[in-house]
């Protein structure tokens, strides 16, 4: 059976009973991964689940539930009426991903309770469950709690409860026993933890989400069995308002920067029959460094339609204007036709595929009126003639409700895509918008970068023209930081947390690099904390099919040795392997490019450290290794680096010293 059984579209087939039968057990049913390591169990009375790896409980038995049309689906139902199973196998090609093909191997168990069901999925990289129903109606609430066993170490992010979906905070860490309810904040996903002595690592993420709010955790309850995190979902919006400026203008009928919720309904989503709800998924690994290779969240997402053509999608690098204040001239002085000609010429000369026109190309947050200083039609035509695509920034309030009109108009103008910003919500209405605009853009062959959005939860597989999502405390934050945030820890932790969910719009590649403790933020002339090699390593470590080169053409022209290497670093990959690290120390990985070359990269937190890895992944023979590593004095002079080449035999060990906030990157070629 093909991968579609893991997709939302399979709900109707499953409920109709097309899956193979399995042993009926009214009390407990499970799905076990093909390698026998991972298992998810479903208990019928009370309705609860449990997750194990190698026989070790990594999610303790936890009750779950779904309430629709004012009634709990379990009400009056004590046991399933049927249980069916399916075995999944084979591989699916990928076009925009961290691997060239997706392993489909897995096992499913469909536990049928009549009008509703629970589907279990088990793969070698994790497990998941989801509710399915064949009756339409209103989803009042879902209970999707998780119980952590004792002795667990947690890594997580929190946001304000009134801003679910705004996911741009620095990751935190704590023992599970120290977690407590914060009435003002919620934990957003991915939520990662390690079980301690046995080292099992779990990453919690929702996947395959359509017309549904994102999964968060609110209240925390310490119990005898462990630490229970209680699910929290945004309510469905009842009334909204358009907000312009930075919250100073209200009462707009359309346009502006945000569409903010004024009132909410008493429910979270609307369901049409048949309906599969989002997967509650758990990537499972024996150590944190292996999470980067997990495919489960992508595999559980709905595949693109079989007749859809996305061969036109072209990932690539982007010369970006906003972070470097329009080549360090400042806004609005640098937001002009002349400046954009400079960016386009620079991109064409250096092989960078795209230029973004960020905020300022349109007048007063109105995409239907150009800034008098920016000749947009001329610039798009100029760029296309030079082989450079233009991507247009817009706040989502400017496109909301006019998705098809916007996509069609700017496609005809010659633009190649959009960067959509300031959603900053996590309710079902936003999920509907993200999908609706992706469909409109796919129809007109336009790319999408969802900045100001929550982490990816599946659209990137359903619509491969959706290349990036933000949902991260990225480099942009250093434009206005008044003191050093722990960006080096942030960068390391995000590799294990946020990136587990999928591509992230972090926007790396700063050329002004500051010693830890010395940087205080600069809106016109920003820099980064940590070393030059730390920034260069992010280009290979971080997944972003539309990868920003955040600094200015002027600074890159002064640092062409580094820039040329970064500009050639791929943005999609043929394979991904974790090499080492954990969220509180360092991150290291290797990636195989489509041309057969390999990249290995690592970054450190605030501490200096030595790291060595074997090159078994190279697959035989001798290779040329082009290396950028921290210089001996990079702790005091973070821009200093050593660029060297050497011959490496497959299996040979390479050792590196990383300065505080340091890193290295290696390109291996035959």
Write the DSSP string, 118-142. Answer: EEEEEETTEEEEEEEESS-EEEEEE
Q: Between the CA of residue 139 and those of 67, 268, 436, what are the distances in Å?
A: 6, 6, 21
CA distance 499 to 456: 9
Task: Establish whether the linkage from the previous residue to 190 is cis, with ω within 30° of 0.
Answer: yes
CA distance 314 to 361: 24
How many alpha carbons lie under 13 Å from residue 557 in its C-beta half-sphere?
10
- Choice among 421, 505, 551, 574 that is catalytic: 421
SS (H, E, C) 341-362: HHHHHHHHHHCCCEEEECCCCE
CA 4 to chain centre: 22
Helix, coil or strand: residue 323 = coil
Write the DSSP string, 649-669. Answer: ETT-EEEEEE-TT-EEEEEEE
First-to-last alpha carbon distance for the chain, in angstroms, is: 39
The reply to whether 476 belongs to the active site is yes
CA dihedral 184→189→195→198, nearest 10 degrees, is -160
CA distance 652 to 654: 7
In this structure, are strands 249-252 and 237-244 parallel, antiparallel, or unpaired? antiparallel
CA distance 533 to 638: 8
Copy the structure tokens of residue 127. 């497990």
CA 385 to chain centre: 33
Q: Are 592 and 574 in contact (CB under 8 A)?
A: yes
- Choice among 476, 484, 630, 635 that is catalytic: 476
Alpha-carbon torsion (481, 482, 486, 487), positive or negative: positive
Please give the positions annotated as active site: 421, 476
């Amino acid at each position: 059976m093909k991968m579609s059984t893991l997709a939302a579209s399979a709900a109707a087939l499953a409920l109709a009973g097309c899956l193979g039968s399995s042993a009926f057990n009214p009390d407990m049913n499970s799905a076990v991964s093909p390698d026998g390591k991972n298992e998810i169990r479903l208990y019928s009375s009370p309705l609860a689940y449990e997750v194990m790896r190698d026989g070790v409980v990594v999610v303790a038995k936890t009750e779950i539930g779904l309430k629709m049309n004012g009634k709990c689906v379990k009400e009056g139902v004590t046991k399933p009426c049927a249980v069916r199973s399916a075995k999944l196998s084979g591989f699916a090609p990928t076009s925009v991903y961290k691997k060239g093909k997706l392993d489909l191997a897995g096992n499913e168990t469909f536990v049928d309770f009549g009008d509703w069901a629970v589907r279990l999925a088990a793969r070698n990289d994790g497990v998941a469950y989801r509710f399915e129903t064949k009756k339409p109606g209103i989803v009042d609430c879902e209970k999707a709690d998780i119980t952590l066993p004792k002795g667990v170490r947690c890594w997580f992010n929190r946001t304000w409860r009134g801003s679910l979906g705004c996911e741009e905070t620095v990751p935190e860490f704590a023992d599970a026993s120290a977690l407590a309810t914060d009435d003002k904040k919620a934990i957003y996903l991915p939520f990662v933890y390690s079980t301690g002595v046995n080292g099992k690592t779990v990453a919690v993420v929702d996947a395959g989400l359509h017309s549904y709010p994102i999964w968060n955790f609110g209240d925390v309850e310490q119990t005898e069995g462990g630490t229970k995190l209680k699910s929290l979902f945004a309510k469905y919006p009842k009334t909204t308002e358009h907000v312009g400026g930075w919250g100073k203008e209200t009462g707009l009928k359309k346009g502006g920067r945000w569409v903010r919720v004024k009132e909410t309904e008493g429910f979270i989503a609307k369901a049409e029959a048949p309906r599969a709800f989002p997967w509650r998924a758990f990537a499972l690994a024996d150590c944190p460094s292996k999470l980067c290779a997990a495919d489960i969240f992508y595999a559980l997402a709905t595949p693109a339609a079989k007749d859809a053509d996305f061969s036109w999608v072209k990932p690539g690098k982007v010369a970006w204007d906003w972070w470097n204040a329009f080549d360090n001239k400042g806004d609005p002085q640098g937001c002009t036709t002349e400046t954009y000609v400079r960016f386009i010429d620079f991109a064409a000369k250096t092989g960078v595929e795209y230029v973004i026109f960020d905020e300022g190309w349109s007048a007063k947050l109105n995409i239907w009126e150009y800034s008098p200083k920016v000749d947009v039609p001329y610039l798009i035509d100029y760029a296309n003639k030079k082989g450079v695509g233009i991507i247009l920034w817009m706040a989502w309030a400017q496109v909301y409700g006019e998705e098809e009109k916007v996509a069609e108009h700017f496609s005809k103008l010659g633009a190649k895509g959009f960067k959509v910003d300031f959603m900053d919500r996590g309710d079902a209405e936003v999920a509907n918008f993200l999908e609706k605009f992706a469909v409109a853009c796919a129809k007109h062959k336009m790319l999408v970068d969802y900045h100001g959005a929550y982490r990816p939860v599946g659209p990137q597989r359903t619509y491969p023209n959706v290349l990036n999502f933000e949902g991260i405390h990225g480099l942009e934050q250093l434009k206005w930081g008044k003191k050093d945030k722990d960006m080096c820890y942030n960068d390391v932790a995000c590799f294990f947390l946020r990136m587990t969910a999928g591509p992230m719009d972090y926007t790396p590649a700063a050329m002004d690099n500051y010693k830890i403790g010395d940087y205080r933020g600069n809106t016109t002339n920003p820099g980064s904390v940590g070393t030059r090699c730390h920034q260069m390593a992010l280009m290979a470590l971080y997944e972003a099919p539309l990868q920003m080169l955040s600094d200015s053409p002027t600074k890159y022209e002064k640092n062409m040795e580094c820039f040329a290497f970064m500009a050639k670093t791929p943005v999609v990959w043929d394979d991904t392997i974790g090499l080492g690290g954990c969220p509180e120390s360092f991150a290291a990985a290797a990636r195989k490019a489509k041309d057969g070359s390999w990249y290995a990269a690592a970054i450190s937190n605030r501490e200096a450290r030595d790291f060595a890895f074997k090159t078994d992944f190279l697959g035989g023979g001798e290779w040329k290794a082009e290396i950028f590593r921290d210089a001996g004095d990079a702790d005091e002079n973070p821009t200093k680096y050593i660029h060297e080449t050497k011959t490496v035999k497959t299996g040979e060990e390479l050792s590196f010293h990383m300065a505080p906030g340091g890193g290295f990157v290696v390109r291996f070629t035959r």
